[in-house]
Structure 1
Amino acid sequence: MPRTVRSRDRLLTYVRRTLLSFFGAQLLLAMGLTLVDSYRRRNKKPKPFPTTSPSTVEVGDGTVTTYTFGQDLYDDMLAAIDGAKRQILFETYIWKGDEVGERFKQALTEAAERGVDVHIIYDAFANIVVKPTFKNFSPRLKVLRFPVYNAGLRFFDLRHYGRDHRKILVVDDEVGFVGGYNIGTPYATEWRDTHCRITGPGVWDLKRAFADFWNLYRRKRFRASERPLLLETASQWEPRIRFHRNVPRLWMFPIRSMYLEAINRATDNVWLTHAYFIPDQDFVDALANAARRGVDVRLLVPAKSNHIVADWISRGYFGQLIAAGVRIFRFKDAMVHAKTATIDGSWATIGTANIDRLSMQGNYEINVEIIDPGMARAMEQIYEVDLSNSAELTRDEWESRDIYRRFTESVLAPLRPLL
């Protein structure tokens, strides 16, 4: 074998081993952090946290009600299901087979038995650990199980790898629910999240969002003769309420653009609450630039989320943000899972999309954008209550963190594009 060929082979072997060692170390560190965090959380219950009662604001010809406590939300969702007369559209990411999950399953089944047309979508990957018997549904229910693997032989096509991370309920074209809450007992009292209830013309757009997803995937689950859902739609628009949907199958990701446009227009305040904050550099720059031009930019995140690796990766952006004047607050003693923002006393969004690659450029997501001073005021009040249970991360505290924390942040930084 010629010397040049042997040299090239040795170089390739060295490069492969170096890359494997590098990424192997990151994965081992991530796994180690996850295991340690899981051990520490055993038998620990989150502490009580302040919440706001459901608050309703008139927006155009309809209303928007915000929820920050899961039990309040579930009570109203179940009441809507129990009162349904014609149709229920129910979509969720996580649907636990616990007490709350069983209540929803029973309510949906009873609705179908009294003649209501019930359509259900849930994500199979998110519910792998749910007992199989729970996922046995009455034949009266039309259930679309979004598969764990959806690419088939097109494993190279990234459009088929998104998860269905949406949470939607629409009843009788009269009321719709959307936001960050999954379905399960822990979310009822232990997690701080945000959801909203919508009435009026905006319900039609939420129904269309459900129907478009159903029609995109129904053929893999139902007979070819099964009619598409929602052949008709209302012509009336509600200009103050818009739904933005990320649809990886169609390579549509408008939620990121919605955020960037609103942040770049801000002149007074930008208040964000996010469970997992792993933005791209353009998003970081938008927040930093807003702060530099005098906008009150605040970011509220969990002090400790349910995904410790995401926490560590998120901290890699804190230095840039604090240096630009962005104020960072960490929610104490409980998981804040909300995906919300309010800007300039006139703009607000509530939805399912986190500020990370998986939500912004990977998963099926939905956010409602509401341009209304009353709604923005309600969201600001919620934010102020959350701040009462939060601690601000100061520049001195950030710069004095120990070498272990700096090392961990540095080693995990290359994982950002994966999350």
Structure 2
Amino acid sequence: MTIKNNEITLYNGGKEAFPRIIERIEKADKSIVLAMFVWRDDKIGNQIAEKLLEASKRGVTIHIIKDKLGMVFELAEERKKSLFHKEFDLKLMIKAMFMDMFYPMEGKGKFHKQTKSPIYNQLTNSHNITVDKDNVRSDHSKYYIFDDSTLIMGGMNIEDKSIYTDVEGKEYIDFMI
């Protein structure tokens, strides 16, 4: 779906959406606002983080809004790695453990201590990047705003299963516009 002038493009899954998102990050010259529910510490999660760091070094101001409730899903599903939520939160950890018990998946990881990756430290310590990760928003938002003029939004989290498959080999298709 495309509408010219005020252009609307439908991106069918991560294979279509992530290249456009990365392109927009690379072209941004003023600001990026990004809100995300799930952001995993995986290949695409780190790639997006690296591109944001590169943009911040060009002088782009970046504001990341990461819903803390997404941590429950990050720790209960897939390989159980969160990019931002490395600190132990008993209340959310209990929710994740209960969800894990009732969310059977072959091949998913075991609970383990979250370790802060170098990319996490760089993102949270950059002077051009603000990270709001300590609030439970419960709104499931997923959007990017580039230079106050381009919006990409929809149902896709930042996680490898948006591009490839989940740990069971199932393909997921979330849409972005």
TM-score range, shorter chain: 0.5 to 0.7
8 Å CA contact 1:91, 1:166 repeated in 2: yes
Residues 81-96 of structure 1 aligned to structure 2 (within 5 Å): 81-96=25-40
Instruction: Find the residue that maps to 1:169 and give its secondary structure.
Output: strand
Query: Where does residue 141 of structure 2 map in the other structure?
Result: 166
Percent of aligned pairs with the same residue?
27
Residue type matched to 1:191 in 2? Y
**Structure exhibiting the larger radius of gyration computed from Cα positions:** 1
Residue in 2 aligned with 1:404? none
Aligned mates of 1:170, 1:115 — CA distance in 2: 16
Please tell me the residue identity of whatever aligns with 1:67: Y
Distance 1:194 1:99 in 2: 20
Query: What is aligned with 2:173?
Result: 192
Give CA deviations for 1:289-347 in whole Å, capped at 9, x if unaligned.
Answer: xxxxxxxxxxxxxxxxxxxxxxxxxxxxxxxxxxxxxxxxxxxxxxxxxxxxxxxxxxx
- Give the secondary-structure state (helix, strand or coil) at the position aligned to 2:116: helix
1:186-335 equivalent positions in 2, closer than 5 A:
186-189=161-164, 190-196=171-177
Q: Deviations over 1:86-136 (max 9, x none)?
A: 101111000011000000100111111110011111012312531341443
CA contact (8 A) 1:96 1:127 kept: no
Contact 2:38 2:158 in 1 (8 A): yes
Residues 115-126 of structure 1 mapped to structure 2, 5 A cutoff: 115-126=59-70
Q: Does structure 2 conserve the Cα–Cα contact (< 8 Å) formed by 1:120 and 1:144?
A: yes
One of 130, 136, 139 as aligned partner of 1:142: 130
The structure with higher relative contact order (CA 8 Å, sep 6+) is: 2
What is the total number of aligned residue pairs between the two structures?
127
The answer to which structure has the higher helix fraction is: 1
- Write the letter of the residue equivalent to 1:192: I
Determine helix, strand or coil for the equivalent of 1:180. coil
How many Å separate the matches in 2 of 1:193 and 1:106?
Answer: 23
1:133 to 104, 113, 116: 116
CA distance in 2, matches of 1:178, 1:132: 29
Contact 1:181–1:195, Cα closer than 8 Å, also in 2: yes
Residues 25, 51 of structure 2: 8 Å contact kept: yes
Q: Which runs of 5+ in 2 are unaligned?
A: 76-81, 83-113, 165-170
Task: Report Cα offsets for 1:113-167 as digits up to 9, x if no partner.
Answer: 110011111012312531341443232211111424xxxxxxxxxxxxx514100
Q: How far, CA to CA, are the matches of 2:51 and 2:14 in structure 1?
A: 17
Q: What is the rounded CA distance, in whole Å, between the counterparts of 1:144 and 1:176 in structure 2? A: 19
Contact 1:179 1:195 in 2 (8 A): yes
CA contact 2:30–2:147 (8 Å) conserved in 1 = yes
Aligned partner (choices 1, 7, 10) of residue 66 of structure 1:
10
Verify the 8 A CA contact 2:13 2:156 in the aligned structure 1: no
